[in-house]
């Protein structure tokens, strides 16, 4: 049953069968085998470069192993092959040192050209600042002051297999990064806690977001559309749950979007001065809590020994001052971030009120946006 | 001489293994230890693959998933592959150079007995409050600074493993330089000796660097230093430079001894001398040298200056040349040989074939602009498993099949060996080949859950992983069966085998070459 010769002979047939199965299977299931369709010049260049080096590798591989398997089939003892005794050839050794070297030079030239183009961030039409957090992205358009966070929009129930998964499972966010097509956009990239990486395959853009460093990259998107990516550098528990969604739109549409965003921001500012009822605050706080839930859990139970619970916590049931302080200033040296910079006055007031009156906590008090504003000074 | 005869057999019982300074006993200990760790690391891989069977979180939490990927890698590298090759070195180097034992037998005992406590510490980390290390085996700060006590356990474990490796390397270098039989000049040494000689220098050069990096991590965690903390003026990227200055040579530490093994197995079963002995030695040395100047190709996306990106791209591409020389030499050794295909030869051919695939995907990864797309995706996972599994794991298995008759005096079961070979090759390819496609299509590595379009290939991969794991039960069966008995092996064992180890009886006596042989 394990006769080598029969096995070795059967192998190519088995492989051919498997190949056929693969080809038909792949066609039927629409397997993704290669890069996603490029939508920028750089991504197209990368695709071409990738295919070039791929085919060079395939040719080298086929040549070398055609020779090896020819030897395996022909120069075997069972076929009466007598071993030769040669064991060196300077000519051959020089040839197979020089030829690969020449091939490598051939590969290095287009690679260098593409790299120089990729890293040239000069002459940009606009800038977007990206800051990575555990586990969300912050986008800021310094030209217009528009600024927001972008977090995973996939419901928890889908992740926990309690609900049917949607089409864009894990690749959908609450606030998309909206960008104009046809303009050179420079990204300046950093992180607030650990290292992340911003990657959208169809744009051909990936770079690490590193705390204390500012990295640059750029893109010019050719066609309107929605392009999805993910954080690419392991950044802790929810590394797999911090997607990126770029919506590329026509420049006029982009300008309209910027204006609308500004309108939303000023309406919010007006709301911050009024007195909110406890019910209003709790209702809003429940939505804001989604950001806390990443660590503290959807029911405020936390993760034992890693992330403290909010249910029954001394801080969330203690004096308001201490609670606000922890939420706004974080706890240095831990994953607890300073949310003063991330959330506006209403959101902080709402989430603190919510935490004090949810998960079995029943302090019964509430915090007004004006209290938060006062603390900021 | 009568006295020496009296000491010919080993003492019995547990103390034999605890106190032993015999290179064969210590080699055996290393090999069983490596097999145990290989099983442990494999089980963790199965946890990973089970969670990735389908989208959604089913079996573990994301945090535990990250602990699994981290500890799987550390256990396989430091507990599985490295001890396996040190075990082979212990068994084989003295027999190959005609020495009675290693040069520093007591230190040899100590280097082995450092391993079990180190492995225990690493395993215990998983049970600490907050769990084991979850920041990846590369331990990048600031993420690794966030972890709990498990990270400290890991750091101390790495220190112990590092000391063990350094002591082992010193021993290997001392043995090779001082204990060769008369007439065995350096350029007459068998290639396994040569590749280990060069590997030992790599280990000596880089293990202290790793120790330094993790020590800085430890002081950042507990003693208020800010080596890697930007808020205190530190630099998280510095860690990556230091880590990969260790990490890239480490890759060659894992594969060079296996290249040595192939250079014994292929000539034996081709019944023809190794093609290009001298160029093999120089290619190994060249690879070792280049391994010190390519480290930053693991970090093209951190935002290096253009000059750095170009330098590391060109230097990395160059590694293809000496690696190519090795592959061409092996193929030429087979050419016009008189080949038979016993299990070790099947393994050797598969290693050349599969390792070359890993090497070529490595060449693709060396191209900086293309790497911006490949980096941190499953393409990289596929690539390094195509390098490490064929070269290191299958290379070690190849060596075990090849020398097992010499060690035990019994032939292993050839049918079972071949069964193990084919199952392993099929399981391996089914596991890792689809991961190339996953990576190219955009699946990041180290994620516990994925978008729906990645489902099918992940299922192939998971199915392959279970097949691959189950096949290793056959391996254990073959080895145990061979240790317990079987057809008696001749002294030469293989028709085409050449070298001093084949001139001594099978099984190799407890003490060999008390009187050095003379090499012509
Ligand atoms: Cu991230």
Residues A247 and A203 in one domain: yes
How much is the pLDDT for B299?
94
B135–A45 C-beta distance less than 8 A:
no
Residue A81 lies in a domain: no
Residues A182 and A288 in one domain: no
Residues with CB under 5 A from ligand 1 (ion): A 196, 231, 235, 242
Please list, residue by residue across B452-491, b when 16 or more beta carbons sit within 10 angstroms of its beta carbon and e when fewer do. Answer: bbbbbbbebbbbbbbbbbebbebbeebbeebbeebeebee
B337–A170 C-beta distance less than 8 A:
no
A93–B325 C-beta distance less than 8 A:
yes
Q: Tens digits of per-residue pLDDT, A160-171?
A: 999 899 999 999
Kind of pairing between the strands at A185-191 and A126-133: parallel
A12 pLDDT tier (thresholds 50, 70, 90): very low
As for how many domains chain A has, the answer is 3
Q: What is the mean pLDDT of residues B216-245?
A: 93
For residue A153, give the 3-state DSSP assignment.
coil
Over 80: is that where the pLDDT of A20 sits?
Answer: no
Residues of B in contact with A207 (CB under 8 A): 301, 303, 372
Q: Clarify whether B252 is annotated catalytic.
A: yes
A28 pLDDT tier (thresholds 50, 70, 90): very low
**Residue A157, both tokens:** 């129930």
Residues A256 and A278 in one domain: no
Over 60: is that where the pLDDT of B95 sits?
Answer: yes
Q: What CATH number did the domain enclosing A339 receive? A: 1.10.760.10
How much is the pLDDT for A10?
46
Which chain B residue shows the shortest CA-CA distance from A161? B56
Q: Tens digits of per-residue pLDDT, B152-192?
A: 999 999 999 999 999 999 999 999 999 999 999 999 999 99
Q: What CATH number did the domain enclosing A256 receive? A: 2.60.40.420
**pLDDT over 70, % of chain B:** 98
Instruction: For tokens 């994925």, name the residue.
Output: B450
Q: Clarify whether B5 is annotated catalytic.
A: no
Cα(B72) to ligand 1 centroid in Å equals 21
**ipTM for the whole complex:** 0.90
Residues of B in contact with A211 (CB under 8 A): 142, 230-231, 236
The more confident residue out of B10 and A84 is A84
Residues A111 and A166 in one domain: no
Tell how far CA B244 is from the center of its chain. Answer: 17
Residues of A in contact with B234 (CB under 8 A): 212
How much is the pLDDT for B352?
96
Q: Whats the size of chain A, residue-wise?
A: 377
Q: What is the mean pLDDT of residues B383-391?
A: 96
Residues A227 and A353 in one domain: no
How much is the pLDDT for A4?
44
Q: Tens digits of per-residue pLDDT, B320-358?
A: 999 999 999 999 999 999 999 999 999 999 999 999 999
How much is the pLDDT for B376?
95
Boundaries of domain holding A228: 126-262
Cα(B261) to ligand 1 centroid in Å equals 42
- Chains A and B form CB pairs within 8 A to the count of 303
Q: Clarify whether B495 is annotated catalytic.
A: no
Residues A14 and A104 in one domain: yes
* Residue A345 vs residues A270, A278, A331, A374: alpha-carbon distances, Å: 11, 15, 19, 10
How close B507 gets to chain A, by Cα (Å)?
Answer: 27
Over 80: is that where the pLDDT of A26 sits?
Answer: no
How much is the pLDDT for A27?
45
How much is the pLDDT for A128?
96
B419–A81 C-beta distance less than 8 A:
no
Shortest CB distance from B271 goes to which of A83, A161, A212?
A83
Q: Tens digits of per-residue pLDDT, B404-424?
A: 999 999 999 999 999 999 999
- Of B30, B51, B69, B101, the catalytic one is B101
Cα(A231) to ligand 1 centroid in Å equals 5
Residues of A in contact with B142 (CB under 8 A): 193-195, 211
Cα(A30) to ligand 1 centroid in Å equals 29
* Residue B273 vs residues A135, A362, B351: alpha-carbon distances, Å: 58, 83, 19
**Residue A332, both tokens:** 């240095």
Query: Which runs of consecutive H residues, i.e. helices, occur in B367-508?
Result: 368-374, 378-387, 395-408, 414-440, 455-484
Residue spans of beta strands (DSSP E) within A192-242:
196-200, 205-209, 215-219, 225-231
Report the alpha-carbon distance of residue A69 to residue B182 in Å, rounded. 40
Cα(A194) to ligand 1 centroid in Å equals 8
Residue A297 lies in a domain: yes
Report the alpha-carbon distance of residue B37 to residue B25 in Å, rounded. 18
Report the alpha-carbon distance of residue A19 to residue A181 in Å, rounded. 41
Residues A224 and A324 in one domain: no
Residue A251 lies in a domain: yes
Residue A15 lies in a domain: yes
How much is the pLDDT for B347?
97
Q: Clarify whether B436 is annotated catalytic.
A: no
Q: What is the mean pLDDT of residues B358-371?
A: 95
- Kindly report the average pLDDT of chain B as a whole number: 93
Q: Clarify whether B300 is annotated catalytic.
A: no
Residues of A in contact with B422 (CB under 8 A): 7
Over 90: is that where the pLDDT of A376 sits?
Answer: no
Q: What is the mean pLDDT of residues B436-451?
A: 95
A7 pLDDT tier (thresholds 50, 70, 90): very low
For residue B16, give the 3-state DSSP assignment.
helix
Q: Clarify whether B263 is annotated catalytic.
A: yes
Residues of B in contact with A158 (CB under 8 A): 56
Q: What is the mean pLDDT of residues B233-253?
A: 94
Residues A130 and A258 in one domain: yes
Residue A240 lies in a domain: yes
Q: Clarify whether B298 is annotated catalytic.
A: yes
How much is the pLDDT for A19?
52
Residue A83 lies in a domain: no
B9 pLDDT tier (thresholds 50, 70, 90): low
How much is the pLDDT for A293?
83
Cα(A295) to ligand 1 centroid in Å equals 14
Q: What is the mean pLDDT of residues B236-246?
A: 95
Over 70: is that where the pLDDT of A13 sits?
Answer: no
How much is the pLDDT for B392?
95
How close B131 gets to chain A, by Cα (Å)?
Answer: 9
Q: Tens digits of per-residue pLDDT, B27-79?
A: 999 999 999 999 999 999 999 999 999 999 999 999 999 999 999 999 999 99
Residue A249 lies in a domain: yes
How close B377 gets to chain A, by Cα (Å)?
Answer: 7
Residue A267 lies in a domain: no
Shortest CB distance from A31 goes to which of B277, B352, B457?
B457
Q: Please list the residues that pair with A147 across neighbouring strands.
A: A140
Q: Tens digits of per-residue pLDDT, A31-59?
A: 678 899 999 999 999 999 999 999 999 99
Cα(A197) to ligand 1 centroid in Å equals 6
B341–A237 C-beta distance less than 8 A:
no
Question: Could you say which of A222, A242, A262 is where a domain stops?
Answer: A262
Supply the pTM of this predicted model.
Answer: 0.89
Question: Could you say which of A232, A262, A292 is where a domain stops?
Answer: A262
Residues of B in contact with A205 (CB under 8 A): 372
Report the alpha-carbon distance of residue A183 to residue A125 in Å, rounded. 6
How close B446 gets to chain A, by Cα (Å)?
Answer: 7
B134–A64 C-beta distance less than 8 A:
no
How much is the pLDDT for B1?
36
Tell how far CA B328 is from the center of its chain. Answer: 23
Q: Clarify whether B72 is annotated catalytic.
A: yes
Residues A254 and A141 in one domain: yes
Q: Tens digits of per-residue pLDDT, B181-214?
A: 999 999 999 999 999 999 999 999 999 999 999 9
DSSP B97-165: HT-SS-S-HHHHHHHHHTHHHHHHHHHHHTTSTT-S--STTTT-TTHHHHS-HHHHHHHHHHHHHHHHH
Q: Clarify whether B323 is annotated catalytic.
A: yes
How much is the pLDDT for A100?
92
Q: Whats the size of chain B, residue-wise?
A: 520
Residues A338 and A210 in one domain: no
How much is the pLDDT for A30?
57
- Kindly report the average pLDDT of chain A as a whole number: 87
Residues A214 and A175 in one domain: yes
How much is the pLDDT for A321?
87
How much is the pLDDT for A305?
73
Q: What is the mean pLDDT of residues B89-97?
A: 95
* Residue B91 vs residues A276, B100, B117, B404: alpha-carbon distances, Å: 78, 11, 23, 11
Residues A306 and A357 in one domain: yes
Report the alpha-carbon distance of residue B483 to residue A215 in Å, rounded. 58
Shortest CB distance from B444 goes to which of A1, A71, A230?
A230
Over 60: is that where the pLDDT of B7 sits?
Answer: no
A156 pLDDT tier (thresholds 50, 70, 90): confident
Residues of A in contact with B277 (CB under 8 A): 87-88
A88–B327 C-beta distance less than 8 A:
no
How close B196 gets to chain A, by Cα (Å)?
Answer: 23
- List, edge to edge, every strand of the sheet that includes A205-209: A177-180, A243-249, A225-231, A196-200, A205-209
A68–B352 C-beta distance less than 8 A:
yes
Q: Tens digits of per-residue pLDDT, A302-314?
A: 877 778 888 888 8
């Amino acid at each position: 049953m394990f006769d080598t010769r029969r096995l070795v002979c059967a192998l190519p047939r088995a492989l051919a069968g498997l190949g056929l199965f693969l080809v038909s299977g792949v066609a039927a299931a629409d397997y993704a085998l290669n890069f996603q369709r490029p939508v920028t010049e750089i991504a197209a260049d990368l695709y071409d470069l990738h295919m070039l080096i791929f085919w060079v590798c395939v040719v080298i591989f086929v040549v070398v192993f055609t020779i090896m398997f020819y030897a395996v089939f022909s120069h075997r003892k069972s076929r009466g092959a007598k071993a030769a005794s040669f064991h060196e050839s300077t000519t051959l050794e020089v040839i197979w040192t020089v030829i690969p070297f020449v091939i490598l030079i051939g590969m290095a030239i287009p690679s260098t050209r593409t790299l120089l183009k990729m890293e040239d961030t000069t002459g940009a039409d606009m800038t977007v600042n990206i800051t990575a957090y555990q586990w969300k992205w912050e986008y800021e358009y310094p030209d217009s002051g528009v600024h927001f966070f972008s977090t995973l929009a996939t419901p928890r129930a889908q992740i926990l297999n309690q609900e049917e998964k949607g089409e864009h499972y894990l690749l959908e966010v609450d606030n998309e990064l909206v960008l104009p097509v046809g303009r050179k956009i420079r990204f300046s990239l950093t992180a607030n806690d650990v290292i992340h990486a911003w990657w959208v395959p169809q744009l051909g853009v990936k770079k690490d977001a590193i705390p204390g460093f500012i990295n640059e990259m750029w893109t010019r998107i050719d066609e309107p559309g929605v392009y999805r990516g993910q954080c690419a550098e392991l950044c802790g528990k929810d590394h797999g749950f911090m997607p990126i969604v770029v919506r590329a739109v026509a420049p006029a549409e982009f300008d309209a979007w910027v204006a609308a965003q500004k309108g939303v921001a000023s309406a919010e500012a007006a709301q911050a001065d009024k007195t909110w009822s406890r019910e209003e605050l709790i209702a809003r706080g429940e939505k804001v809590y989604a950001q806390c839930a990443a660590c503290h859990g959807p029911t405020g139970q936390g993760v034992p020994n890693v992330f403290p619970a909010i249910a029954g916590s001394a801080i969330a049931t203690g004096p308001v001052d201490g609670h606000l302080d922890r939420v706004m200033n974080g706890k240095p040296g831990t994953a607890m971030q300073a949310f003063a910079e991330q959330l506006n006055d209403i959101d902080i007031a709402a989430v603190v009120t919510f935490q004090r009156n949810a998960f079995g906590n029943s302090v019964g008090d509430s915090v007004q946006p004006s209290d938060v504003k006062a603390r900021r000074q | 001489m009568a006295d020496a005869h009296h000491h010919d057999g080993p003492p019995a019982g547990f103390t034999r293994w605890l106190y032993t300074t015999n290179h064969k006993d210590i080699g055996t200990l290393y090999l069983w230890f490596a097999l145990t760790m290989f099983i442990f690391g494999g089980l963790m891989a199965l946890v990973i693959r089970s969670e990735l069977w389908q989208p959604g979180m089913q079996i573990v939490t994301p945090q535990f998933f990250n602990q699994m990927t981290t500890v799987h890698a550390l256990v396989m590298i430091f507990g599985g592959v490295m001890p396996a090759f040190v075990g082979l070195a212990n068994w084989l180097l003295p027999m190959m150079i005609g020495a009675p034992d290693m040069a520093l037998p007591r230190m040899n005992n100590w280097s082995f007995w450092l391993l079990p406590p180190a492995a225990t510490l690493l395993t215990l980390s998983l049970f600490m409050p907050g769990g084991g290390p979850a920041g990846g085996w590369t331990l990048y700060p600031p993420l690794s600074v966030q972890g709990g006590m498990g990270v400290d356990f890991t750091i101390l474990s790495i220190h112990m493993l590092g000391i063990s490796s350094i002591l082992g390397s010193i021993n290997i270098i001392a043995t090779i330089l001082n204990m060769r039989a008369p007439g065995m000049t350096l350029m007459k040494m068998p290639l396994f000796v040569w590749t280990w000689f060069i590997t030992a220098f790599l280990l000596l050069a880089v293990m202290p660097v790793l120790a330094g990096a993790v020590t800085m991590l430890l002081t950042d965690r507990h003693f208020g230093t800010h080596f890697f903390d930007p808020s205190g003026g530190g630099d998280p990227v510095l860690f990556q430079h230091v880590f990969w200055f260790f990490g890239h040579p480490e890759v060659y530490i894992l594969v060079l001894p296996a290249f040595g093994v192939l250079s014994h197995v292929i000539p034996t079963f081709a019944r023809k001398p190794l093609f290009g002995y001298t160029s093999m030695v120089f290619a190994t040395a060249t690879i070792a040298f280049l391994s010190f100047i390519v480290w930053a190709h693991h970090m093209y996306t951190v935002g290096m200056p253009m000059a750095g990106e170009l330098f590391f791209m060109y230097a990395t591409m160059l590694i293809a040349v000496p690696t190519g020389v090795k592959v061409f030499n092996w193929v030429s050794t087979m050419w016009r040989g008189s080949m038979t295909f016993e299990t070790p030869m099947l393994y050797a051919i598969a290693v050349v074939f599969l390792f070359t695939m890993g090497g070529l995907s490595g060449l693709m990864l060396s191209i900086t602009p293309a790497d911006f797309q490949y980096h941190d995706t499953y393409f990289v996972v596929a690539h390094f498993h195509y390098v490490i599994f064929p070269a290191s794991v299958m290379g070690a298995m190849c060596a075990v099949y090849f020398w097992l008759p010499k060690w035990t005096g019994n032939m292993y079961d050839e049918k079972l060996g071949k069964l193990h070979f084919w199952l392993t090759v099929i399981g391996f390819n089914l596991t890792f080949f689809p991961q190339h496609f996953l990576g190219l299509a955009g699946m990041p590595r180290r994620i516990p859950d994925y978008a729906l379009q990645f489902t099918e290939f992940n299922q192939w991969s998971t199915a392959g992983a279970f097949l691959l794991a189950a096949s290793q039960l056959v391996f254990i069966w073959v080895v145990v069966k061979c240790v317990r008995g079987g057809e008696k092996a001749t002294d030469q064992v293989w028709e085409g085998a050449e070298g001093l180890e084949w001139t001594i009886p099978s099984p190799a006596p407890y003490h060999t070459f008390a009187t050095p042989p003379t090499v012509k």
